[in-house]
Amino acid sequence: MLYLWIKTLHIVFVTSWFAGLFYLPRIYVNMAQTPNPDAYQAMLGMAARLLRFTNKLAIPAIIFGLWMMIQFKIGLTDGWMHAKLLLVAGVLGYHYTCARIYRQFEQNKNTRSHVYYRWFNEIPVFLLLFIVALVIIKPF
């Protein structure tokens, strides 16, 4: 029963974490497009709050995932888990990159267009797709 609760919490926090990673670059798209300084500042505040919230969601997502893996020995020797952990490292890298981009916007040093951020916004979709596929299909 403990396993099912930990798994539930892991899924909820991962889903919430990804919601932030899906929306934060969308704010960057709008910030890169707006010529209005007041709107820019409002979106900068939204991005700051969402980034802080997303940072806090990542921690329990990772803790519950590691807890499941270690206590219940889920996939420790399986190739699918190694691939999943590699992709999770990619998610963490993406999250870190979102924070770096935020600091560039905060310092008014963004050099990229809204088109770049539209493409950048698609990365977590593919990461999540591959992670979920590995967990459900367990191809190796």
- Binding annotation for heme: 10, 84
**The token pair that represents 102 in the structure block:** 């935020």
Treating both helix axes as pointing N-terminal to C-terminal, what angle do 79-106 and 37-71 enclose, rounded to 10 degrees?
A: 160
> Which parts are annotated binding residues?
10, 84
- What φ, ψ does residue 129 adopt, rounded to 5°? -55, -50
Contact 131, 87 (CB under 8 A): yes
- ∠ CA 9-122-53, nearest 5°, is 40
R_g (Cα) of the chain, nearest Å: 17
For residue 94, the SS3 value is helix
Residue type, position 14, single letter:
V
